[in-house]
Structure 1
């Protein structure tokens, strides 16, 4: 018989397949809560790294921001040991997905910090936040490339031209988002995360509510 955690891994994949993002986020939180912090961080790190080649391409001049992102993602533990949660300034020239990518990096550093402090209940919110923003970076990058007029309207504060053309309605963005979350589902299955024992339900639900009250932010 499948464990409850394994059932949640399956439910997470099913939610992604039908585009049920809100329930998928809470299901992912329940999947990750209570497994070793290092495994949660490895997942968030791997998914965040997927945007780094895009980030480099967006900034071919190899700015200080690119070098900083490379140092964080190249050896997250070593970076934290040397500089803690210090965050560099983002690129001067904003490209699609930059802001989301930057927040994912911030969340990753927070996750490592909580793990080092033994605050394991805070690791899951940080890792889930990093995952959401890393996937969001891929979606935003596609939107900027696929419909620059809608992006410009959004940046200019003109809501009317965006009807039916927002990032979360763009078919290319939706396809990329689904692809990235299915990669997360594959990772969970390959690492047999469903085999870990259940966490304390009351504690898990308390921290899930805490995270949701902050709209999945830190």
Structure 2
């Protein structure tokens, strides 16, 4: 019978995960199971000996094999997971398009798309949470509310933001199937003598 949320939050409740496949480092395995939690945070948690491998405390650098059983306190993932970005009303997203499912935002150069931790401000995601608080919980990570794509700090352009979880899943699938494509325009210095194509990884 599945455990209730109250049972999972009990101090003595454990969550057990079984690994199937090739050998993998314990911290990487846990990051695969809980991608919103960084490998560094899992390393710190493993260092407290709260994560068990087949009943024995795991250690930093531990390798787990096929059929290994990894146990950890059921409350641990929630305590390690980052919260949503801090709301920053000073970042005002420029909306190019909006409907019930999607926002298209014009991100300026000079700001990051999202923060790396819950205390950082000044990113597009901080502005999104301030002006669209219902984005909290939508998307891959709490620090990336609704974001379907990202742009580097010095790159300006369009960022797609799903307003609800169902839309986020739909558009991520379209990206995965290459039904949505990205086009980048670059500013170059000098004169191009003839048309040319540069086909190289960015």
Q: Which has the higher contact order (CA 8 A, sep 6+)?
A: 1
Indicate the structure with greater strand content. Answer: 2
Q: Give the structure-1-normalised TM-score.
A: 0.21
Q: Give the structure-2-normalised TM-score.
A: 0.22
Indicate the structure with greater helix content. Answer: 1
